[in-house]
Amino acid sequence: MSVISPGFTGRRRHDRDLPPGQYLTDGFPVLTYGPTPKVDLAEWNFGIVTETGATHGWGWEALQALPHETPHVDIHCVTKWSKLDTDWEGVSLDTLFENVETEAEYAKIYSYGGYTTNLPLEDLLDGKAWIAFGFDGEPLEAEHGGPARLLVPHLYFWKSAKWVRGIQLLTEDEPGFWEENGYHNYGDPWREQRYQGD
Amino acid sequence: MVRRLAWQVGTVASVREETATARTLVLDVPDWPGHLAGQHLDVRLTAPDGYSTERSYSIASATAEGRVEITVQVVADGEVSPYLAQVLSVGDPLELRGPVGGYFVWRPADTQPVQLIAGGSGIVPLMAMARTRAQVGSSVPFRLLYSVRSPAEAIYADELAKLGLEVTYAYTRRTPPDWPTPAGRVNAALLADVTFPADATPRTYVCGPTPFVETVADLLVDAGYDPAAIRTERFGPTGG
């Protein structure tokens, strides 16, 4: 039902398909609902808590001791920008879940600063997600979620929680911050799941 | 069952030139349900060959059924903003949907003091809050600190002077004649001088370009403001 916009031609054509409604950017916009938390590496900790209460935790050095991967991915923000061919460094969630026994199907992500987001556990596994601490060959900057953020490139980027500190595994889904504030529960860019009801 | 936010076709009812590079579009949207101050809407443009792209714009007006205003600042080399700010004309259709967003909002039922801090076109959603306060006759204390490069780039300056809130301008490049202080960026001393003190527990809304918001939010946290009471909206470095 799109109406034609009289006089609009559009300029930023590109060779590769983008999800619907997205435009390309070379910059790296920052979208966060509050001040940027400053997290001290000496106090940094990342934990996975299962539905039975079993806890698996890593300090910064323990995380760094795990095998690193260097995902090369496209990222898509619900605010319409997409950034192609981004280079990250991090640890696969598959590595962190190696010794985690769970029957849970849902994950709620917790961040330093109070942010939360939710997604099905299967969207974190099988090579689909990382705890990322490097971007473009440099340590991840605080405004982009450093020292470490979740990276789930196949979903809108609000699911890739910045300043990540833990994952709670749940047998029932529980909405996170933006999911309670009008945004879609799942957030698939290719199905343009921006807002509740999309 | 959640109702999908449907795309609607609005019509440009009128335009107001705000500055040399910013324009307000007044849109008639027959099914517009009203909105909260601080929410945004999505715009979709489609070229004759089917190419289509979307952008989000903060809503500038206080709530009203059937009508909504956005103020568009031209982004150099932008794809969408030059079209909205320079090409789109009265009577033209514009596809949009909204309102969207439930966090960077001010509701008239909120009673704590409100500190607004804007950088450049970051004033737009804050203006919706100031207009809403005036619309409902609220006596909640509002202060605004508005950072702009020069007086000529201040959006809504005349109306802001009449809305009954305390407004302080910070000019980063050029000041008006006889301005008491040299041009410069917002810093800790200025924030301490003109904003509600931390112990007044204001709700603070900061909106502007990313470096501006990062700087201001960091200064507020360093000055002892509760991070959970600081709501931010950042934009740039690119966009349309």
Burial class (CB in 10 A: 0-12, 13-18, 19+), A17: exposed
Judge if B86 and B139 occupy the same domain. no
B72 touches chain A (CB under 8 A): no
Of B2, B47, B102, the CB nearest to A9: B47
Asked if B101 is an interface residue toward chain A (Cβ–Cβ < 8 A), one would say yes
Instruction: For residue B164, count other CB atoms closer than 10 A to its CB.
Output: 13
> Average pLDDT, stretch B9-18?
97
Query: Do residue A9 and residue B87 have CB atoms under 8 angstroms apart?
Result: no
Residue B102, pLDDT > 80, answer yes
ipTM of the complex: 0.86
- The reply to whether B2 falls in a domain is no
Q: Which of B100, B123, B157 is the last residue of a domain?
A: B100
Residue B202 to chain A, least CA–CA distance (Å): 14
Which among A12, A36, A114 has CB closest to B214? A36
Would you call A8 and B2 a contact, using CB atoms and an 8 Å cutoff? no
Chain B interface mutation, best of A4, A8, A117, highest count of B Cβ atoms under 10 Å: A8
CATH number of the domain to which B62 belongs: 2.40.30.10
Instruction: Give pLDDT, residue A26.
Output: 79
Task: Report the C-alpha gap between B112 and A142 in whole angstroms.
Answer: 30
Question: Helix, strand, or coil here: A110?
Answer: strand
Please give the single-letter amino acid code of residue A85.
D
Instruction: Decide: B15 and B26 in contact? Cβ < 8 Å.
Output: yes
Mean pLDDT of chain A: 94
- Which phi-psi region, left, alpha or beta, contains residue B239 (left: φ > 0; alpha: ψ -120 to 50)? left
pLDDT exceeds cutoff 70 at B25: yes
Model confidence pLDDT, tens digit, residues B52-82: 899 999 999 999 999 999 999 998 888 899 9
Per-residue tokens: A138 = 């440099």
Tokens matching residue B155: 């959006």
Chain B neighbors of A22, CB-CB under 8 A: 53-54
Q: Residue B239 pLDDT > 50, yes or no? A: no
Q: Are residues B92 and B153 in the same domain?
A: no
Q: Which chain A residues touch B228 with a CB distance below 8 Å?
A: 34, 114
Query: How far, in Å, CA of A111 to CA of A148, rounded?
Result: 10
Strands B230-235, B203-209: parallel, antiparallel or unpaired by DSSP? Answer: parallel
- Whether A110 contacts A165, CB under 8 Å: yes
Whether residue B237 has a cis bond before it, omega within 30° of 0 = yes
What is the predicted pLDDT for the residue at B149? 96
CA distance B99 to A167: 31
Chain B residues whose CB is inside 8 A of the A181 CB are 101-103
State the total domains in chain B: 2
Q: Tokens 């556990």 label which residue?
A: A121
CATH number of A45-191: 3.90.420.10
With the C-alpha atoms ordered B8, B11, B81, A17, is the resulting torsion angle positive or negative? positive
pLDDT of residue A27: 78
pLDDT of residue A55 exceeding 50, the answer is yes
User: Which residue in A has a C-alpha nearest to residue B238's C-alpha?
Assistant: A27
Distance from CA of A9 to the nearest CA of B (A): 5
Both tokens of residue A144?
Answer: 């982009």
**B136 in the same domain as B96:** no
Q: Measured between CB atoms, does B52 come within 8 Å of chain A? A: yes
CA distance A51 to A55: 10
Kindly state the tokens that stand for B213.
């918001």
Q: Kindly identify which residue of chain A lies nearest to residue B210, measuring between CA atoms.
A: A30
Q: Is the pLDDT of residue A65 over 60?
A: yes
Q: Do the chains contact at B53 and A23, CB–CB below 8 Å?
A: yes
Pair (B121, B71) in one structural domain? no
Q: What's the gap in Å between the CA of B180 and the closest CA on chain A?
A: 31
Q: What residues form DSSP beta bridges with B70? A: B25, B59
- Mean pLDDT for A64-81 is 96
Share of chain A above pLDDT 90, in %: 84
Q: Which of A1, A14, A30 to mutate to test the interface with B (most CBs of B within 10 A)?
A: A30
At B151-169, the pLDDT tens digits run: 999 999 999 999 999 999 9
Q: Is the peptide bond before A35 cis (omega within 30 degrees of 0)?
A: no
Check whether residue B128 and residue B46 sit in a common domain: no
**Per-residue pLDDT at A157:** 96
**Is it the case that residue B18 has pLDDT exceeding 70?**
yes
Kindly tell me if the per-residue pLDDT of B240 is higher than 90: no
Euclidean distance between CA atoms A96 and A56, whole angstroms: 9
As a whole number, mean pLDDT of residues B228-235 equals 92
Average pLDDT over chain B, rounded to whole?
A: 94
B126 and B227 housed in the same domain: yes
- pLDDT tens digits, one per residue of A130-162: 999 999 999 999 999 999 999 999 999 999 999
Nearest CB neighbour to A12, from listed B79, B217, B236:
B79
The two tokens of residue A189 are 């860019």
**B157 and B188 fall within a common domain:** yes
Residue of B48, B103, B233 lying closest to A4 (CB–CB):
B48
Chosen for mutation from B8, B12, B79, B86 (greatest number of chain A CBs closer than 10 Å) is B79
Does residue B107 form part of some domain?
no
Domain boundaries along the sequence of chain A: 45-191
Q: In terms of domains, do B61 and B169 share one? A: no
What is the chain A residue with the closest CA to B234? A31
pLDDT digits (tens, 9 = 90+) for B179-198: 999 999 999 999 999 999 99
Same domain, B122 and B216: yes
**Domain edge (last residue) among B100, B134, B161:** B100
Domain that holds residue B170: 114-235
- Residue B238 in this model has a pLDDT that exceeds 60: no
Residues of chain A in contact with residue B210, where contact means CB-CB under 8 angstroms, are 29-30, 143
CA dist., res. A189 & res. A80, Å (int): 10
The answer to whether position B1 is within a domain reads: no
Residues B134 and B73 in one domain: no
Rounded CA separation A141/A59 (Å): 19
User: pLDDT by residue (tens digit) across A81-121?
Assistant: 999 999 999 999 999 999 999 999 999 999 999 999 999 99
Residue B206 placed within a domain = yes
B19 shares a domain with B90? yes
Whether B15 and B49 have beta carbons less than 8 Å apart is answered as no
- Nearest by CB to A34, from B7, B94, B231: name it: B231
Above 80 in pLDDT, residue B237?
no
User: Omega of the bond prior to A67 within 30 degrees of 0, cis?
Assistant: no
Flag whether B164 is in a domain.
Answer: yes
**Which residue of chain A is at minimal alpha-carbon distance from B49?**
A9
Least CB–CB distance from B56: residue in A2, A35, A80: A80
B109 occurs within a structural domain? no
Which of B44, B54, B58, B215 to mutate to test binding with chain A, by most A CBs within 10 Å of its CB? Answer: B54
pLDDT score at B235: 81
Q: How much of chain B, in percent, has pLDDT values that exceed 70?
A: 97
Distinct helix (H) and strand (E) counts, chain A: 2, 11
A8 chain-B contacts, CB cut-off 8 A:
45-47, 83, 87
Same domain, B133 and B87: no
In this structure, which amino acid lies at residue A75?
Answer: I
Q: Are B96 and B7 in contact (CB under 8 A)?
A: yes
